[in-house]
Structure 1
Amino acid sequence: MRILLDTNIFIDREQDHVLSRELAKLLQTLNKLRAELVIHPLSVSELRRDSNIKRREVNLSKIEAYSHLERPPNPNNDTSFCESIGPAKNSHDDVDNALLYAVYKNAVEFFITEDREIHKKAHTIGVGERVFLISEALYDFNRCLPSREISPTPPALVKDNMHNLDPQDPIFDSLRVDYPGFDEWFIEKAQEGRECYVHRRTDGSLGAILIYKIEDEPIPSIPRLPKKKRLKIATMKVEHVGYKIGELLLKVSIDIALKNNITEIYLTHFTQPKGDRLIDLVSEYGFRKSSILQHENRQEDVYVKSLCARGHDVSSLLPVQISQLYYPSFYDGDSIRKFIIPIRPAFHDLLFTDFPRGRQTKIYEHSGEFGIEGNTIRKAYLTHSRIKKIEPGDIILFYRSADMKAITSIGVVDNFFLDTSDPDDIIRIIGKRSVYSRDAIERSNKPLTIILFRHHFHLPHCVTINELRSANVLSWAPQSITEIDNTEYRWVKQQGGINESYTVH
Structure 2
Amino acid sequence: MSHFDYKSFDSIDLQSEFFDSLRDDYPAFDEWFAKKSINQEKAYVLYNDNEQITAFLYLKIETELDPLISPPLPREKVLKVGTLKIQAHGTRLGERVIKKIMDNATERNIHTIYVTIFDKHEHLISILLKYGFRHWGIKSGAAEEELVLVKSLDPVDMLGDIFHDYPLFSTENSNCWGLSIYPKYHTKLFPDSILKNESYDLLSDIAPTNTISKIYLSAMKCINEMSQGDIVLIYRTSDNLGPARYRSVVTSICVLEEVSNIYSYTREQFLSYCSKGSIFTLTELEYFYNSKKYPFILRMTYNISLQKRVTNEQLQEVVGLSPAYWGCFSVTESQLLKILTLGEANKSLVRLGSHA
Normalised to the residue count of structure 1, the TM-score between the two structures is: 0.61
Deviations 1:13-34, CA, capped at 9 Å, x for gaps: xxxxxxxxxxxxxxxxxxxxxx
Report the CA distance shift for 1:190/1:462 in structure 2 as closer, same or farther (over 3 A): closer
- 8 Å Cα contact 2:57/2:85 also seen in 1: yes
- Residue 193 of structure 2 aligns to a residue in which SS? coil
Find the counterpart in structure 2 of residue 355 from structure 1: 193
Whether 2:12 is the aligned partner of 1:176: answer no
Q: Supply the distance in 2 between the matched residues of 1:450 and 1:237 (Cα, whole angstroms).
A: 33
Q: Supply the distance in 1 between the matched residues of 2:150 and 2:70 (Cα, whole angstroms).
A: 13
Find the counterpart in structure 1 of residue 7 from structure 2: 160
- Residue 196 of structure 1 aligns to a residue in which SS? strand
Report the CA distance shift for 1:182/1:344 in structure 2 as closer, same or farther (over 3 A): same
Q: Supply the distance in 1 between the matched residues of 2:277 and 2:260 (Cα, whole angstroms).
A: 15
- Residue 175 of structure 1 aligns to a residue in which SS? helix
- Residue 278 of structure 2 aligns to a residue in which SS? coil
Report the CA distance shift for 1:186/1:494 in structure 2 as closer, same or farther (over 3 A): closer
CA apart distance, 1:286: 1.1
CA apart distance, 1:276: 0.9
Segments of 5+ residues of structure 1 without an aligned counterpart are 1-153
Find the counterpart in structure 2 of residue 429 from structure 1: 273
- 8 Å Cα contact 1:459/1:497 also seen in 2: yes
Find the counterpart in structure 2 of residue 340 from structure 1: 178
CA apart distance, 1:200: 3.1
CA apart distance, 1:179: 2.0
Q: Supply the distance in 2 between the matched residues of 1:460 and 1:168 (Cα, whole angstroms).
A: 36
Q: Supply the distance in 2 between the matched residues of 1:188 and 1:424 (Cα, whole angstroms).
A: 52
Q: Supply the distance in 2 between the matched residues of 1:364 and 1:488 (Cα, whole angstroms).
A: 31
In structure 1, what residue type is equivalent to 2:191?
T
Find the counterpart in structure 2 of residue 215 from structure 1: 62
Find the counterpart in structure 1 of residue 132 from structure 2: 286
Whether 2:215 is the aligned partner of 1:380: answer yes
CA apart distance, 1:235: 1.5
RMSD of aligned residue pairs (Cα, Å): 2.6
Q: Supply the distance in 1 between the matched residues of 2:336 and 2:48 (Cα, whole angstroms).
A: 44
Find the counterpart in structure 2 of residue 63 from structure 1: none
Higher relative contact order (CA 8 A, sep 6+): 2
The 5 A counterparts of 1:260-409 are: 260-272=108-120, 276-295=122-141, 297-310=143-156, 312=157, 314=158, 317-318=159-160, 321=161, 323-333=162-172, 335-361=173-199, 363=201, 369-386=204-221, 387-403=223-239, 404-409=247-252
- 8 Å Cα contact 1:417/1:451 also seen in 2: yes
Report the CA distance shift for 1:240/1:488 in structure 2 as closer, same or farther (over 3 A): closer
Q: Which moved more, 1:263-272 or 1:353-362?
A: 353-362
Report the CA distance shift for 1:171/1:257 in structure 2 as closer, same or farther (over 3 A): same
Q: Supply the distance in 2 between the matched residues of 1:203 and 1:355 (Cα, whole angstroms).
A: 25
- 8 Å Cα contact 2:155/2:168 also seen in 1: yes
Report the CA distance shift for 1:166/1:466 in structure 2 as closer, same or farther (over 3 A): closer
Q: Supply the distance in 2 between the matched residues of 1:429 and 1:464 (Cα, whole angstroms).
A: 33
* Higher Rg of the two aligned structures: 1
- 8 Å Cα contact 1:289/1:302 also seen in 2: yes
- 8 Å Cα contact 1:163/1:190 also seen in 2: yes
CA apart distance, 1:270: 1.0
CA apart distance, 1:406: 2.9
Report the CA distance shift for 1:475/1:391 in structure 2 as closer, same or farther (over 3 A): closer
CA apart distance, 1:364: 7.3
Q: Supply the distance in 1 between the matched residues of 2:51 and 2:306 (Cα, whole angstroms).
A: 36
CA apart distance, 1:292: 0.6
CA apart distance, 1:504: 0.6
- 8 Å Cα contact 1:381/1:434 also seen in 2: yes
CA apart distance, 1:271: 0.9
Segments of 5+ residues of structure 2 without an aligned counterpart are 240-246
- 8 Å Cα contact 2:9/2:41 also seen in 1: yes
CA apart distance, 1:359: 4.8
CA apart distance, 1:297: 4.7
